[in-house]
A and B are shown apart, each in its own frame.
Chain A
Amino acid sequence: MSDEALDPAGSGGRADSAGRAGATSRKATRPTVARDDVVLEAVGLTKHFPLRGLRATGAVHAVDGIDLALRSGQVIALVGESGSGKSTVARLLARLYPQTAGTIRLHGEDVTAKRGAAFRRYARRVQMIFQDPFASLNPVHTVRYTLTRAVKIHKKGLSGAELEAALHALLERVQLNPDRFIDKFPHELSGGQRQRVAIARALAADPEVLLADEPISMLDVSIRIGILNLLQDLRDRLGIAILYITHDIASARYFADRTYVMYAGKPVEIGDSESVTQSPAHPYTQLLVRSAPDPEDLVSEERSGGRGEPPNMVNPPEGCRFSPRCPFATDVCRTATPPLLQIGTGRQVACWGYASRVDGGTDGLPASAELPELGDAAAPVTAATTTSEVTR
């Protein structure tokens, strides 16, 4: 029963009852989503935040040209350290602010919604979950109020018993007992329960895409897995496309189908989660994997080799942005930006270290250029790859 209440196919009646031309036509054009269809797509997404102040010039290069395709029933993880632009990507996709360049496409159609009815129509299909459940729920309102607001905004005309049933279905969907939790205030809930309420609120819109911005980083280690399992369950049952943003690469491995590793506003490695975590190709991904606490690996006392700070994003380094911290960096890395090189099926890495082993990898480089030697650290390049894909 609860499935029905939020099933995309069964929701046509609600839109009609809203009686608004816009809403109805949206329903009519909304395609039935098959698994693995691209739902939301970003091409060359870029965001620069201009510096403010009297004499300030320049801009923070938060995101510089990322291509991303969210498919229904698939989880994509965006991994990177603080300040690498992960959250900016989510906020751009949620249209919380406009992009500097690039396009966002929902089912192949360019998204231009900024505010008003168009934005609400968009938000109905793309919802966001925020990092801090302690801040994202209004402390003076009960769970019932929080959810009622979301339901009423996104599904006009629900009231009385219908509304109550919808609220109960939402809470059940996030595995909270409706009778117990519906009249609670946020301060009466634990962090995990609050995050579940926040997820329920996002689900009220019956979205096709969930943008989860570090949904578990503020939670206790012992309850994190519960939230991830819940999201996984939603993905499987409702076929929602999920963008999962995290700095914990281990959780990306557990939860996500594909992982994008970001560094300083650019993707440095893309691939299925298993191979990205098990044979990381980019030196930054390797550092990330090494840094994750791992009691299994107590024997190797070696240092992580991590040094330095993330770069200043107002004047990002020339060439590869990781080069100031990279142990393998050569002059090429410091002058030329590496393209995303195809090193396997569905695996791309932006590192000059692989250029010599990928066809066309050295295009555009002077013949005398000294490429970095990754040595043992290099991930295997599979023979199937012949093309290099150059991105902006």
Chain B
Amino acid sequence: MTPPTTQVRTDRAAARSSDRRPILEIRDLAVDYGYGEDRVHALRGVNLTLHEGEVLGLAGESGCGKSTLVYGATRLLPPPGLISAGEVLYYPEDGAEPVDVLRLSDADLRAGRWQDIAVVFQGAMNSLNPVYRVGRQLMDAIKAHRRDSTSQEREERARELLDMVGIAPERIRSYPHQLSGGMRQRVMIAMALALEPRVLIMDEPTTALDVVMQRQILEQIQDLRDRLGFSVIFITHDVSLLVEVADRIAIMYAGEIVEEASGKQVYKEPRHPYSYGLLHSFPRCTARAVSCRASRARRRTCRTSPADARSGRGARTRCRSARRSTRSSSRRRSARSGAPSRACSTPRGTRSRPSSRSRRPGVDPACDDRSRSRGTGRRPRSGAGNSRRSPRTWPTVIG
């Protein structure tokens, strides 16, 4: 049985990204944790392509494999993580043949790291060494890769980098504890940009920061991207943030990518039930948003552990629209790189519309309502009760 393929309108952003040259291509990457019978399949054949100058957002909840994906692709995965299959192609700048990062020799890998692909690590606030001045830490990376540079040049460069991310160059002599959280975060970003990498991987770079600082840093990253032209893989669990910053968004769930499309598309018409749930799991600040989305935030949240998700679709245990057929069938996702794709056998909007849908178990009542009510701010009644009138009486969603 073949799943109904969802043909989606490609809007400008998606079209643009498919025209671009790929820079990093992850093919069928599989990562296990542990060995033997008990191993957990943290990633199960993930395909993902990053194009030049693109911001690719990677979203999903904790434990879905977002970080594992990028650490696997950069060979930074600590044991017991084990890459069991796949290849990661990096396309060099001069247009030469792509190299497989997973099969590079240690020396080549070391030379390429930070130079080609740099990472801003999760919890960057705590990844600076507290006993060295930030300037020294900035210069370390430059020294390792540019052996022939003089210390004066390196210091010059470090000052320039700090200035670039909006920190006064005099701060080069500060210790990390003398900087605020946002400044430490920006030092980490400056450090990642020290060698002008072509790919910047940001693993939850703003999670620990408050919204004002988060906004400042995002704007700065966008400015720098426009100026320097690097590509970004941006990992976060906040999809609404991604909708704003990313050209393309890949939603991950239980070790696989369940939906991949342009940011606007994911927001306007999420096709995978999980993406929909993720998008609507939290209220926004705007007027309409609270009343309409909050009432629909009724996703079940028992997470599928990667260990459980060995057969069938990962999201199935939580999916409201799962059909029996999904249980035995394995993943189906059209993996044409660049094109929007979905891994759902019953994508949203393709289901039948029974008139009594809100009563029927197994059919997501929100899916059809949503397309109709969009733009009017009006929400037809659904099974969730009339919470439209009072946003404070949402049903208790999550048990």
Q: Hey, which bits of chain A sit against chain B, CB under 8 A?
A: 81-83, 175, 190-192, 220-226, 229-230, 232-233, 247-251, 253-254, 277-278, 287-298, 303-304, 306-307, 309-310
B83 within 8 A of A: no
In the bound complex, CA of A296 to CA of B280 (Å): 12
| Contacts of B296-329 to chain A: CB distance below 8 A | 297, 299, 301, 303
Q: A229-B398, A254-B294, A291-B214 are in contact. Are A297 and B61 (CB under 8 A)?
A: no
Q: A221-B238, A254-B294, A294-B240 are in contact. Are A229 and B397 (CB under 8 A)?
A: yes
B215 touches A221 (CB 8 A): no
Q: Closest Cβ of chain A: how far from B33's Cβ, in Å?
A: 16
> Interface readout for B55-66 with A: 1 if CB under 8 Å, 0 if not?
000000110000
In the bound complex, CA of A289 to CA of B285 (Å): 7
In the bound complex, CA of A251 to CA of B181 (Å): 22
B399 touches A175 (CB 8 A): yes
| Set of chain A residues within 8 Å of B288, measured between Cβ atoms | 296
A249 touches B211 (CB 8 A): yes
| Set of chain B residues within 8 Å of A190, measured between Cβ atoms | 303
In the bound complex, CA of A293 to CA of B236 (Å): 13
A295 touches B180 (CB 8 A): no
A82 touches B209 (CB 8 A): yes
Q: Contact check: which of A82, A222, A226, A229 meets B278 at CB < 8 Å?
A: A222
Q: A83-B180, A294-B284 are in contact. Are A225 and B397 (CB under 8 A)?
A: yes
B282 touches A306 (CB 8 A): no
In the bound complex, CA of A328 to CA of B396 (Å): 43
14 pairs, A vs B, C-beta closer than 8 Å: A83-B180, A220-B62, A222-B281, A225-B397, A226-B399, A229-B396, A247-B211, A248-B211, A250-B284, A254-B290, A293-B214, A293-B243, A309-B182, A310-B180
A223 touches B301 (CB 8 A): yes
Q: Contact check: which of B281, B286, B391 meets A221 at CB < 8 Å?
A: B281
Q: Closest Cβ of chain B: how far from A260's Cβ, in Å?
A: 16
> Interface readout for B184-222 with A: 1 if CB under 8 Å, 0 if not?
000000000000000000000000011111111001000
B287 within 8 A of A: yes
Q: Closest Cβ of chain A: how far from B247's Cβ, in Å?
A: 13
> Interface readout for B232-275 with A: 1 if CB under 8 Å, 0 if not?
00000111110110000000000000000000100100000000
In the bound complex, CA of A58 to CA of B289 (Å): 46
| Set of chain B residues within 8 Å of A304, measured between Cβ atoms | 212, 215-216, 219
In the bound complex, CA of A288 to CA of B283 (Å): 15
| Set of chain A residues within 8 Å of B142, measured between Cβ atoms | none
Q: A191-B62, A303-B219, A304-B219 are in contact. Are A226 and B397 (CB under 8 A)?
A: yes
Q: Closest Cβ of chain B: how far from A69's Cβ, in Å?
A: 20
Q: Tell me if A's interface is mostly helix, strand, loop or mixed.
A: helix
| Set of chain A residues within 8 Å of B180, measured between Cβ atoms | 82-83, 309-310
B211 touches A291 (CB 8 A): yes
A247 touches B210 (CB 8 A): yes
Q: A221-B61, A304-B219 are in contact. Are A81 and B287 (CB under 8 A)?
A: no
Q: Contact check: which of B212, B219, B301, B394 meets A222 at CB < 8 Å?
A: B301
B396 touches A298 (CB 8 A): no
Which residue on chain A has the smallest CB distance to residue B293?
A: A296
B277 within 8 A of A: yes
Q: Closest Cβ of chain A: how far from B60's Cβ, in Å?
A: 9
Q: Closest Cβ of chain A: how far from B291's Cβ, in Å?
A: 10
In the bound complex, CA of A223 to CA of B300 (Å): 9
Closest 9 CB pairs of A and B: A226-B398, A295-B243, A291-B215, A247-B210, A81-B210, A293-B241, A254-B283, A291-B211, A250-B285
Q: A222-B237, A254-B290, A306-B215 are in contact. Are A277 and B285 (CB under 8 A)?
A: yes
Which residue on chain B has the smallest CB distance to residue A226?
A: B398
B183 within 8 A of A: yes
| Set of chain B residues within 8 Å of A278, measured between Cβ atoms | 287
Q: Closest Cβ of chain A: how far from B84's Cβ, in Å?
A: 26
Q: Contact check: which of A192, A221, A288 meets B211 at CB < 8 Å?
A: A288
Q: A232-B392, A310-B180 are in contact. Are A251 and B283 (CB under 8 A)?
A: yes
In the bound complex, CA of A9 to CA of B265 (Å): 54
Q: Closest Cβ of chain B: how far from A239's Cβ, in Å?
A: 16
| Set of chain A residues within 8 Å of B301, measured between Cβ atoms | 192, 222-223, 226
In the bound complex, CA of A254 to CA of B291 (Å): 9
A294 touches B281 (CB 8 A): no
**New contact pairs (12) apart from A191-B62, A306-B216, A307-B216, CB-CB < 8 Å:** A82-B213, A220-B61, A220-B62, A221-B61, A221-B281, A224-B282, A225-B394, A248-B211, A288-B212, A293-B240, A298-B244, A306-B212
In the bound complex, CA of A200 to CA of B95 (Å): 60
A225 touches B289 (CB 8 A): no
B212 touches A81 (CB 8 A): yes
| Contacts of B356-381 to chain A: CB distance below 8 A | none
| Set of chain B residues within 8 Å of A287, measured between Cβ atoms | 212
In the bound complex, CA of A225 to CA of B298 (Å): 10
Q: A247-B211, A295-B267, A303-B219 are in contact. Are A225 and B297 (CB under 8 A)?
A: yes
B212 touches A294 (CB 8 A): no
A253 touches B283 (CB 8 A): yes
Q: A295-B267, A298-B244 are in contact. Are A222 and B216 (CB under 8 A)?
A: no
Q: Closest Cβ of chain B: how far from A191's Cβ, in Å?
A: 7
B239 touches A221 (CB 8 A): yes
| Set of chain B residues within 8 Å of A288, measured between Cβ atoms | 211-212
> Interface readout for B76-89 with A: 1 if CB under 8 Å, 0 if not?
00000000000000
In the bound complex, CA of A253 to CA of B288 (Å): 13
Q: Closest Cβ of chain A: how far from B307's Cβ, in Å?
A: 13
| Set of chain B residues within 8 Å of A175, measured between Cβ atoms | 396, 399
In the bound complex, CA of A38 to CA of B216 (Å): 39
A253 touches B303 (CB 8 A): no
Q: A292-B284, A294-B284, A294-B286 are in contact. Are A81 and B241 (CB under 8 A)?
A: no
Which residue on chain B has the smallest CB distance to residue A309?
A: B180
In the bound complex, CA of A307 to CA of B278 (Å): 31
| Set of chain A residues within 8 Å of B213, measured between Cβ atoms | 81-82, 306
| Set of chain B residues within 8 Å of A306, measured between Cβ atoms | 212-213, 215-216, 219
In the bound complex, CA of A225 to CA of B396 (Å): 9
Which residue on chain A has the smallest CB distance to residue B281?
A: A222
Q: Choose among B287, B288, B392, B397 the residue with the greatest number of A CB atoms under 10 Å from its CB.
A: B392
Q: Closest Cβ of chain B: how far from A269's Cβ, in Å?
A: 15
In the bound complex, CA of A229 to CA of B287 (Å): 20
Q: Choose among A225, A253, A291 the residue with the greatest number of B CB atoms under 10 Å from its CB.
A: A225
| Set of chain A residues within 8 Å of B267, measured between Cβ atoms | 295
| Set of chain B residues within 8 Å of A223, measured between Cβ atoms | 61, 281, 301, 398
Q: A221-B278, A229-B398 are in contact. Are A292 and B264 (CB under 8 A)?
A: no
Q: Closest Cβ of chain B: how far from A325's Cβ, in Å?
A: 9
A233 touches B278 (CB 8 A): no
| Set of chain A residues within 8 Å of B209, measured between Cβ atoms | 82
Q: Contact check: which of B181, B282, B287, B303 meets A225 at CB < 8 Å?
A: B282
Q: Closest Cβ of chain A: how far from B239's Cβ, in Å?
A: 7
